[in-house]
A and B are shown apart, each in its own frame.
Chain A
Amino acid sequence: MNFYAIRAIYRFEMARFGRTLMQSLASPVLSTSLYFIVFGTAIGSRIGAIDGISYGAFIIPGLVMLSLLSESISNASFGIYMPKFTGTIYELLSAPVSWAEALVGYVGAAASKSMILGALILVTARLFVPYEIAHPFWMVAFLALTAVTFSLFGFIIGVWADGFEKLQIVPLMVITPLTFLGGSFYSINMLPPLWQKIALINPVVYLISGFRWSFYGVSDVHVGVSAAMIGVFLVACLLLIRWIFKSGYRLRN
């Protein structure tokens, strides 16, 4: 085990985070605050409670997930894309580092960052809406699992991308719509029956539902199904990354 390498990569990535602390944290916190003001306070006061939860409180888990997903993906994809772009990746490729070690360093750092952000958003939300967390352990578990899984996914995008457009396109064109349509702002049960079925194709539905369950004990789909879906996605990402390193896809000539 090359522990020193994991530590070096992790520190390097966290240092980058530290340098851009304001950008990394301020903009997601600001945009989340705006959501609370608009949807939670202004419009939310005219929307009835959903499943017995006030609308302002109802949207918290979805908003955290929204930021968590996009930040995990962008942190991790940027982390591996930049060395490819500047050419400094030669060092990683020539180092005595296994793919699993590199992954722990890069993905660990990306997931740490987005978890810090998630916690910060939860704290910010508390300023607007009083809420309780029914299952704190599961809340943290969902937060961590989601952060890791989507950081892995971001890592794949970063390896695959050969330009800045590609780096942006997946979060923008895929993740954002899926999150908005995944029940951040409404319960899937509020949709007409056909759309409820269609919505279940969307993996983000399971994330938000499970996460919301950890807060309020109510969910659109069974929490076990949510956990299983995240697990499946996590394993799929891991297998794909293993293949990337073994085959050298877009990393080695």
Chain B
Amino acid sequence: MTPIISIRGLSKTYASGFEALKHIDLEIRRGEIFALLGPNGAGKTTLIGAVCGLVRPSGGSIHADGHDIARDYRAARTKIGLVPQELSTDAFETVWATVSFSRGLFGKPRDPAFVEKLLRQLSLWDKKDAKIMTLSGGMKRRVMIAKALSHEPTILFLDEPTAGVDVELRRDMWEMVRGLRASGVTIILTTHYIEEAEEMADRIGVISRGRILLVEDKAALMAKLGKKQLTLHLQAPLAQIPAAFAGEPLELSADGNALTYTFDAQSEATGIGALLRRLNEQGIDFKSLQSSESSLEDIFVSLVREQA
């Protein structure tokens, strides 16, 4: 299947001389939720801006649904909706007027029934005649989402959608994102919260300092780079790790009651069998054991650290 967005050799050097994107190659699959994960200043907003027409690329090419975003900008932009990172709205407009305006701006004829449906979905219906300046921050963000969806785009960009958002809106937003994907919309979101990428995305791209470090199915990424930990709760506390285990990836808890063994979940020989036998030989007994997978966070931190 051809990718819905294809970015080749994209670079961006700002007027200040700062190189915010360095030869980015990236393909987004049709219908997926893609999370672009990276620390502040990594270049996420710049990358989105380049696709949406807010940032002039210094080099490379971008295609959206087969259309070159520079040469065939009309066709490309009609497909794209953008919810930017910053809350920026027309204070004096009503919710209804601003959403209708967006629909017109993106070349769609008026459709009050559709706008009503959209506002209801976003719990904005009873605010439709309210001036935007009278709304709370969370409501304003809903308005921006409604604007982005007003022309029925097939690609939706959400730049840091949950930064500074309350729990309720976050839940509604994820529900909406899942609903959109079910209806065939491709969603690209940026975040520096790993849990968010972990919770929502089908695939994850990690960006740092203007480079894409990796792109991977979420599950594959977790499995590939994920470490597992086995924690043994001991019958009797240990003062220190016995000398026989020197060099093993073992850690003793501060109170001496638990031993933690870190191993690679993917490798053939995890070494667990041998470890348990040797503990037995040493007369170290345990009450219970529990294993846990490392989160994306750990993966992310180790990736970015590797690069630094």
Contact = CB atoms under 8 A, between A and B. Distances in A.
B210 to A, nearest CB: 14
Interface size class for chain A?
Answer: 20 to 34
Contacts of B86: 87
Contacts of B93: 12, 15
Given A86-B88, A96-B73, A96-B106, A8 B101 contact: yes
B88 A88 contact: yes
Interface stretch (B49-57, B254-262, B277-285): B49-57
Given A96-B73, A253-B54, A91 B104 contact: no
Interface in A37-88: 86-88
A40 to B, nearest CB: 37
A91 B99 CA distance: 11
Contacts of A98: 74
A96 B77 contact: yes
Given A90-B84, A253-B14, A95 B105 contact: yes
Contact of A252 (B55, B73, B74, B100): B55
Contact of A90 (B46, B88, B108): B88
Contacts of B75: 96
Nearest to B15: A253
Contacts, number: 84
A86 B140 CA distance: 14
B107 interface: yes
Contacts of A4: 103-109
A93 B88 contact: no
B77 A95 contact: yes
Contacts of B84: 87, 90
A19 B92 contact: yes
A131 to B, nearest CB: 39
B90 interface: yes
A252 B77 contact: no
Nearest to B108: A4
A5 to B, nearest CB: 5
A94 B88 contact: no
Contacts of B118: none
Interface in B64-95: 73-78, 80, 82, 84, 86, 88-93
B52 A94 contact: yes
A27 interface: no
Given A4-B109, A12-B101, A253-B49, A94 B54 contact: yes
Nearest to B53: A94
B49 to A, nearest CB: 7
B53 A91 contact: no
Interface size class for chain B?
Answer: 35 or more
Given A15-B97, A86-B88, A92 B54 contact: no
A132 to B, nearest CB: 42
A7 interface: yes
**Residue of B52, B54, B77, B104 most packed against chain A (CB within 10 A):** B104
Contact of A88 (B73, B80, B89, B103): B89
A97 interface: yes
Contacts of B102: 8, 91
B19 to A, nearest CB: 13
Contacts of A15: 93, 97
Interface string A1-17: 01011011101100110
Nearest to B81: A94
B209 interface: no
A90 B54 contact: yes
B143 to A, nearest CB: 11
A177 interface: no
A248 interface: yes
Interface of B: 14-15, 46, 49, 52-56, 73-78, 80, 82, 84, 86, 88-93, 97, 100-109, 147
Given A4-B105, A4-B109, A253-B46, 19 more contacts: A4-B106, A8-B100, A8-B103, A8-B105, A12-B101, A15-B97, A19-B92, A86-B91, A88-B89, A90-B84, A94-B53, A95-B107, A96-B74, A96-B78, A96-B106, A96-B107, A252-B53, A253-B14, A253-B49
26 contacts: A4-B105, A5-B104, A5-B107, A12-B93, A12-B101, A19-B92, A87-B86, A90-B54, A91-B102, A91-B105, A91-B147, A93-B54, A94-B52, A94-B53, A94-B80, A94-B82, A95-B77, A95-B106, A95-B107, A96-B106, A96-B107, A252-B54, A252-B55, A253-B14, A253-B46, A253-B55
Interface of A: 2, 4-5, 7-9, 11-12, 15-16, 19, 86-88, 90-98, 248, 252-253
The 9 closest A-B CB pairs, nearest first, are: A8-B104, A87-B88, A96-B77, A96-B74, A94-B52, A4-B104, A2-B107, A95-B105, A253-B55
